[in-house]
Amino acid sequence: MTEFVFFGGKGGVGKTTIASAYALECADAGLETLVVSTDPAHSTADVFEQEFGDDPQPIEGYDGLSAMEIDPEREVQEHLQGLKQQLSEQVSAAMVNEIDAQLELAHRTPGAYESALFDRFIEVMQNADPYETVVFDTSPTGSTLRLLALPDLLERWVERLLEKRERSIDRYEKAAIGNRKPRRVMDGDPIVARLQERKERFEFAGTVLREEATFYLVLNPDELSIRETRRSIETLEAADLSVRGLVVNRLTPEPDPHEEGRGARYLRRRVATERDRLEHIDDAFDVPTVATIETRPEEVRGTLLEDVAAELEVKPGEELRIG
Ligand SMILES: Nc1ncnc2c1ncn2[C@@H]1O[C@H](COP(=O)(O)OP(=O)(O)O)[C@@H](O)[C@H]1O
Ligand SMILES: [Mg+2]
């Protein structure tokens, strides 16, 4: 069975860094691992100093580690093109322009982006067989998670639709003239088939996320990041998904005791502030802090990435966990 691991958190806190380091640890532990990135800024490419595309591709220099980058904007565009194509075959030419304009608008609404992304997540999850661990450097957001409630809604919708169609087919049959055979319009009805397919996709996603996925949240020792973490925990829990642990990234290193001067005084004050924040994090959340990572003097890539990975202490086994 594949384990899906998500790293959530505000932009810039270190999701991509921690997810990449975690994936590296998994691969080192002998697990066939895939990193899935959704950052249009190609930050995974920066971390591994290699370009990635929309399909998984081995990362050079690391055994058992592959990566792919999903471009959410392109997902939205492709989705839009698909719909337009389909509709242009079904409506008059005069309607096409009007519908195009409407669709363009619909795709700018909040949530369109997330929902296209989520569709792609599901596809990745459905094709995850070659991997033992799939690490996502982002976690589903509130509007994505609301889609998980969709199967129940669609179920009722599909049922009502089916009933309606059945009644009309029934009437049609009764009115059937002579020995003309009534058409079984419902079998292969494209609308019903689409709804059913969509319902099954979200059902699958819900089951996988609840049963085979682990969620970690990455945060920095500052108030804004802590507040955001609280919101994310609530959002995930509202969808029946529990957060396994917090990774506090970018802690300030302490100067040696004999060190004096402005720099050392600054660092000591900063370290004290962060210690308070860490205590607050422990008190305020039921979710444990599973790792704390120091700030490095440079961007985390190459050997620095291996350093950070070593700090994560991933223990593979029955249950993969940090710390
Ligand atoms: N512990 C760290 N020490 C130094 N730089 C870090 C650390 N963690 C992250 N960074 C740097 O901060 C920037 C943002 O990190 P990133 O992982 O891309 O964040 P996110 O994916 O949450 O937006 C990157 O340039 C990354 O190299
Ligand atoms: Mg990122």
Q: Three-state SS across 152-212? A: HHHHHHHHHHHHHHHHHHHHHHHCCCCCCCCCCCCCCCHHHHHHHHHHHHHHHHHHHHHHC
pLDDT of residue 148: 73
Tens digits of residue pLDDT in 301-321: 988 999 999 888 766 554 556
- Could you say which DSSP state residue 38 is in? -
Q: Does domain 3-77+107-312 have CATH number 3.90.79.10?
A: no
Tens digits of residue pLDDT in 212-256: 999 999 999 999 999 999 999 999 998 889 899 999 999 999 999
Tell me whether strands 3-8 and 133-136 are parallel, antiparallel or unpaired.
parallel
pLDDT of residue 318: 45
Tell me whether strands 65-69 and 243-251 are parallel, antiparallel or unpaired.
unpaired
pLDDT of residue 56: 96
Q: How many whole angstroms from 320 Cα to the centroid of ligand 2?
A: 22
Q: Compute the average pLDDT of residues 38-59.
A: 90
Tens digits of residue pLDDT in 84-137: 777 777 667 777 777 777 777 766 666 677 777 888 888 999 999 999 999 999
Tens digits of residue pLDDT in 253-289: 999 999 999 999 999 999 999 999 999 999 999 999 9
Q: Coil, strand or helix: which one is 52?
A: coil
Answer yes or no: is the C-beta of 20 below 6 A from any ligand 1 atom: no
Q: Which atom of ligand 1 is nearest to the CA of 138?
A: 21
Answer yes or no: is the C-beta of 249 below 6 A from any ligand 1 atom: yes
Domain boundaries, the chain: 3-77+107-312
pLDDT of residue 147: 72
- Tell me the two tokens of residue 36: 């899935």
pLDDT of residue 76: 79
pTM of the full structure: 0.85
Tens digits of residue pLDDT in 140-173: 777 777 777 766 666 777 778 777 767 776 676 6
Q: How many whole angstroms from 275 Cα to the centroid of ligand 1?
A: 21
Q: How many whole angstroms from 237 Cα to the centroid of ligand 2?
A: 23
Rounded to the nearest integer, the mean pLDDT of the chain is: 85
Answer yes or no: is the C-beta of 13 below 6 A from any ligand 1 atom: yes
Q: Which atom of ligand 1 is nearest to the CA of 137?
A: 21
Answer yes or no: is the C-beta of 79 below 6 A from any ligand 1 atom: no
d(CA 221, CA 251): 7
Q: Which atom of ligand 1 is nearest to the CA of 300?
A: 27
Q: How many whole angstroms from 8 Cα to the centroid of ligand 2?
A: 9
Instruction: Please tell me the residue having the least CA distance from ligand 1 atom 27.
Output: 299
